[in-house]
Amino acid sequence: MRANSEQNIRKLDKKEINTFESAVLDFISENSEHSYNDELIERKDIFNTIIKNVGKIKHGRPRIQCYFVNTANEAADKEILSAQRTLKNRLDETGLFYAADATLIGREELLGLWIKSQGAYETTFEIIGSASFPKSAGIEESYVVTVSAKEFTTKVLTDENGSLRKSIFEENVRDFIPFDGSEINTEIGNTIQDASRSQRFGIMNNGLTIISPDVRLQSNEIYISNYQIVNGCQTSNVLFENGNVLNDKITIMAKIIETDDQDIVDDIVRSTNRQNKIEDHQFLATLDSVKSVERYFIARGGDEEHRLYFERRPNQYGRDDIPSIRIFDLKELARCTGAMFLDKPDVASRYPNQLVEELQGTVFDPKNKEEIFYTAAYCNYRLKLLHSNNRIDKAINRLKWYSLMAIRYRVCGENPSNVTSSKVEKDCEAIIDIISKNDDACIALCNDIARRFAELGAVDRDRLRTTRFVSEVRDAMCR
């Protein structure tokens, strides 16, 4: 029963949409046949009051918006889209509304709404001077402005609680590098604190790049909303850290670009960051599929025991008091997932950059379920703990990438589910269920894998990196 229920949640069902339609039509009818709880009774009373007072409403009738929310992928089936149109038509036919909308919300839209629920933000700040760029395809407005560093820090970087607005750096390819780990950031800070040099700060600094879907320049003020600082994370953090010494004579230059085209955003991120020393694999942080994995890790960390952190951008959790064993960067997560779910422990055993380059289209394929990334990382985390406590055979750690693949085959059998199928979620549950326990079953699984490793004979570095050894391990685990 549980498996069927999970599948319904992950797949849009016309019957469920029809049931939703029936419930909506019953709710807006004069003589409802369904029974309602106290909350819906209250809303029904509000609706009836609105209908009785339509003469006081703009357009003479209210507008209705219906949302059918599901964690399935975007609707594409004709019958599903037909059911959506039918609901809208039925609402129009009632004559109660001047406009009726029926919307299907899938997993990506739901994630987007969740992000927005964390708090939309906007700001208006004064500028010292500005110059506009010509309009181009996908970019309505763009300016280069000079602004007081103090004004910029107060209005753009700081939230209503006086804290740094960390969410504005989500599109950045790396997070802030603390002063003790960056000579450049230390130098920026020294310049701000040096009274004789601070007035030249705006000239000496490369400036920032800000992207916003809504930019409005009027006189000496500029308005931006839901903005992202895609280049200048380091400078912004140093400014915030030195907020107490900033004054109006210290300036900063910023390019402000209005666009909501993600392709253009990605292009700007890549081009502006090329000026700095950024490894190619770090640009994977801008992929929507990688951001979805990050959101999944955040949502999954409901309890301390299972909480892991995906560091999509370097140094993202560097300033937080988090055990390093719980943090997985892009390379580490790619190696874990590639080894466990894509049968690539040989590639993971070589060089992490090679895995990212060879498998970025496979490991981070948008069709892959986010659960596989978390499951692979959690298994890696648990094996490290068990090894450090001397509870499992040393071979598990020595062949750690092969151990991840071995766990999957020992738990899920010789034909595990495809990583793009909803069925893989059940595999992930089974894996986490056994590997999360400190009981005899978990230890027995690891010792069984170690015993099967031993039967394969001596394993040197060259053998470890061959596809032939991958096949040998897979066969050994499926016997």
301 and 230 together in one domain: no
Alpha-carbon span 236 to 229, nearest angstrom: 9
Residues 256 and 299 in one domain: no
pLDDT at 391: 87
User: Is there a single domain that holds both residue 113 and residue 126?
Assistant: no
Q: Do residues 101 and 234 both lie within one domain? A: no
Closest by CA to 387, choosing from 375, 377, 397, is 397
Phi first, then psi, for residue 403 (nearest 5°) are -65, -35
Domain termination site, one of 215, 244, 278 = 278
Residues 420 and 308 in one domain: yes
Half-sphere exposure of 120 (CA within 13 A, CB side): 9
Tokens of 396: 């598990």
Whole-angstrom CA distances from 445 to 66, 135, 373 are 49, 62, 21
Q: What per-residue confidence (pLDDT) applies to 8?
A: 39
Kindly give, in sequence order, each residue whose CB lies less than 8 Å from that of residue 27, ignoring residues fewer than 6 positions away: 34, 40, 44, 47
Beta carbons within 8 Å of 20's beta carbon, 6+ residues apart: 66, 68, 87
Provide the CA 125 distance to its chain's centre, in angstroms.
29
Same domain, 143 and 219: yes
Asked if 337 and 308 sit in the same domain, the reply is: yes
Query: Tell me, what's the pLDDT at 119?
Result: 57
Under a CB-based contact definition with an 8 Å cutoff, are residues 143 and 131 in contact?
Answer: yes
Tokens of 308: 């892991």
pTM of the model: 0.57
pLDDT tens for each residue of 5-54: 343 345 778 888 899 999 999 999 888 888 888 888 899 899 988 888 88
Domain boundary among 252, 278, 304: 278
Looking at the structure, do residues 338 and 385 belong to the same domain, yes or no?
yes
Domain holding 224, by residue range, is 122-278
Are residues 13 and 86 located together in one domain of the fold?
yes
Phi, psi angle pair for 322, to nearest 5°: -120, 130
Are the CB atoms for 264 and 139 separated by under 8 Å? Answer: yes
Both structure tokens of 352? 């992490």
Low-confidence ranges of the chain (pLDDT < 70): 1-10, 74-76, 112, 114-120, 173-175, 177-183, 272-283, 285-286, 302-303, 318-320, 351-360
- Taking Cα atoms as reference points, which of 383, 355, 378, 360 lies closest to residue 429? 378
pLDDT number for residue 279: 55
What's the CA gap between 119 and 113, in Å, rounded? 10
Say yes or no: 437 and 469 in one domain. Answer: yes
The candidate with the shortest Cα–Cα distance to 98, out of 54, 59, 53, is 59
Beta sheet of 228-231, edge-to-edge order: 129-132, 142-148, 251-258, 208-212, 228-231
Give the C-alpha separation, 331 to 354, whole Å: 10
Together in a domain, 348 and 452: yes
Angle at 336 between CA 330 and CA 340, to 5 degrees: 145
Are 380 and 406 within 8 A, CB to CB?
no
Question: SS3 sequence, the chain?
Answer: CHHHHHHHHHCCCHHHHHHHHHHHHHHHCCCCCCCCCHHHHHHHHHHHHHHHCHHHCHHHCCEEEEEEECCCCCCCCHHHHHHHHHHHHHHHHCCCCCEEEEEEECHHHHHHHHHHHCCCCEEEEECCEEEECCCECCECCEEEEEEEHHHHHHHHHECCCCCECHHHHCCCCCCCCCHHHCHHHHHHHHHHHCCCCHHHHHHHCCCEEEEECEEEEECCEEEEECCEEEECHHHHHHHHHCHHHCCCCCEEEEEEEECCCHHHHHHHHHHHHCCCCCCHHHHHHHCHHHHHHHHHHHHHCCCHHHCCEEECCCCCCCCCCCCHHHEEEHHHHHHHHHHHHCCCHHHHCCCHHHHHHHHHHHHCCCCCCHHHHHHHHHHHHHHHHHHHCCCCCHHHHHCHHHHHHHHHHHHHCCCCCCCCCCCHHHHHHHHHHHHCCCCHHHHHHHHHHHHHHHCCCCCCHHHHCCHHHHHHHHHHHHC
Say if residue 191 is in the same domain as residue 83. no
Tally of domains in the chain: 3
Residue 355 CA: distances (Å) to CA of 6, 281, 291, 419: 32, 10, 19, 18
d(CA 11, CA 74): 10
pLDDT at position 117: 59
Q: Of the residues 117, 141, 164, which one is the last residue of a structural domain? A: 117
